[in-house]
């Protein structure tokens, strides 16, 4: 398929609805983990322009930084720490409207104001998380949760 992403305008729903089939096309026939995580991060960043979009992967009982787009970030996060570690511990998506009000939030960038973290669950285990940060307060809601969880489900591979 063409490597150029078609960037949609419109509501958040319309943007996700345009992006998801394109992501499906990018992931189809490619099973390499790093390649797929890298393209998901790049496509989300390109479509939505968020500050930071990326993955942390569980390795030896820690989250380790994976493919991402945005400013450099902390490389390791322990279970239960920060939004990412809490999403891992609870095995659920966390929407944080104001990161300063989240106890234990890990500030990789002082520009980040709100955040959403989606756990990647395979065989009942969290094997990584997708983390998205915005410079706007309250930038994420149930629409993002629904579609970002769908995007994670496109990943057919086990990490």
Binding site for ligand SME (CB under 6 A): 52, 73-74, 77, 82-85, 105-106, 108, 112, 115, 131, 133
| CB of 84 vs ligand SME, minimal distance in Å | 3
Question: Closest CB to ligand SME belongs to which residue?
Answer: 82
Q: Nearer to ligand SME by C-beta: 22 or 113? A: 113
| CB of 60 vs ligand SME, minimal distance in Å | 18
Q: Which of 88, 90, 112 is nearest to 100 (CA)?
A: 112
| CB of 83 vs ligand SME, minimal distance in Å | 4
Q: Nearer to ligand SME by C-beta: 36 or 134? A: 134
Q: Is residue 130 within 8 Å of 55, Cβ to Cβ?
A: yes
Token couple for 152? 């994670």
How far lies 90's CA from each of 54, 140, 146, in Å?
A: 19, 19, 18
Beta strands 52-59; 114-122: pairing state: unpaired
């Amino acid at each position: 398929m063409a490597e150029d992403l078609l960037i949609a305008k419109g509501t958040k729903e319309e943007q996700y609805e345009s992006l998801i089939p394109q992501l499906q096309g990018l992931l189809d026939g490619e099973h390499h983990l790093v390649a797929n995580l890298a393209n998901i991060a790049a496509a989300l960043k390109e479509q939505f322009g968020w500050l930071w979009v990326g993955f942390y992967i569980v390795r030896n009982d820690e989250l380790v930084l994976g493919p991402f787009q945005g400013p450099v970030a902390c490389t390791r996060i322990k279970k239960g720490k920060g939004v990412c570690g809490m999403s891992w511990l609870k095995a659920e998506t966390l929407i944080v409207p104001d990161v300063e009000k989240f106890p234990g939030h890990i500030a990789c960038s002082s520009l980040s104001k709100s955040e959403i973290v989606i756990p990647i669950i395979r065989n009942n285990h969290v094997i990584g998380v997708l983390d998205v940060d915005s410079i706007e307060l309250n930038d994420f809601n149930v629409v993002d949760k629904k579609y970002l969880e769908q995007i994670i489900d496109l990943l057919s591979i086990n990490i």
